[in-house]
Amino acid sequence: MRGLIALLAAVSLLVPVPAQASEPPRTGFEKTGRWTTEAEEQAYLAATGLPVAQIGTTALGRPIQLVRVGSRSARTVVLFICSQHGDEPAGREACLIRMRSLPRNSSVAYLFVPNANPDGRVADTRGNSSGIDINRDHLLLKSAEARAMAAVIRDHRPDVIHDLHEFGPSAPYYVKDVLWLWPRNLNVAPGVHSLSESLSRSYVRPSVEAAGRTSGVYGIYVDPVTGEPVRQVAGDHQERILRNTGGLKHGMGLLVETNVDGAPAYRVDSHLKALDGTQSFVRDRRAEIEAANAASRAVRSGPIYFGGADNQPPAPGEVLTTPPCGYVLTGAQYREFSDELALHGIKSQYLRGGDRIVPLKQEARSIIPLLLDARAAEPLLKAAPVAQC
């Protein structure tokens, strides 16, 4: 009997035991139902095994990070900017959840800035620790957070930029679960503008509405009784907002906002459904996206607009029909603002005497006058336009 037992035991060692599937890492929100803490976020990112790079440091010393999913040689790049406003946490949670489920060998590179305002998230404030609204700083780049994102856009050249936000109580007019909007700035190339609007209307909208959410265009008050638009109150052309800046830098821009009146899990899931829409858009329209971005980068002529939007004609004085050849900066101006120009990917040439000229015929054409022309709404500096370079 002892021999039989020993034999059976030996045989049992040869029988393969099914491996237990390892549990995927979970966010603090998934575990507890409360927003993921700073420490939980870092532990979660480490547990995913995904490449995490530090792209900046906040004023209070917290890291600003970039997570990559997919091949480094991918031709198509999608960038998710998560919770620029620290008191709008649902987008961050959705990004953390989504990154772990994407295929790691994908031919599309998915980049996440999972916590675009680390100091504001800890303090539960809209702005960063200096009170700067980061989503109004993508032109002048005064904050470390906006500078980090500008460097990512310059270096990774995303084809699509999906910006996740939330909107506060605005009863009785903002009554939707999810709002979305494309770049309205008139300097955005037509192909990029058109596809951005298609992304919002034809992909994000049906994705969230199929899940039982109501949705609509951001920035428009809608009468809760008639359902008719009342007036435009937000979502304008301002180039300093990431939705517009992304379009000016040749990426399909998209803002998605969830309603903070909803339960936290509902808001996070709404963002996840919107992310589904963007992923479907990239899968279905990839060739068109790449062609539109290439055409946008190749633009070297045409009018410049200092005002107006795709839903608001510019005033005559806001249209520069014959743009200059370029802008001349004094040596002192260049020394003061060379970092910002470099972060925007703007090239300049040395002139005799130490001045610099920024020719308009370059890839950054659409944003140069908005930064250097005195007629712009919020120029970085006032350079001298020249007719000939």
**Residue 255 backbone dihedrals phi, psi, to 5 degrees:** -110, 130
257 flagged as catalytic: yes
The span from the CA of 188 to the CA of 296, in Å, is 8
Amino acid identity, position 65? Q
Q: At what angle do helices 331-343 and 144-156 cross, to 10 degrees?
A: 70
Cα separation of 334 and 76, whole Å? 34
Contact between residue 280 and residue 207 where contact means Cβ atoms under 8 Å apart? yes
How far is Cα 80 from Cα 275, in angstroms, rounded to an integer?
9
Q: Is the dihedral of CA 271, 52, 364, 142 positive or negative?
A: positive
Structure tokens at 375: 């007629």
What does the alpha-carbon distance between residue 111 and residue 43 come to, in Å, rounded to a whole number?
A: 19
Residue 379 near residue 385, CB atoms below 8 Å: no
Catalytic: which of 257, 290, 318, 336? 257
Per DSSP, 346 falls in state -
Q: Which amino acid is at 271?
A: H
User: What six digits make up the tokens of 159?
Assistant: 């084809």
Q: Which are the catalytic amino acids?
A: 257
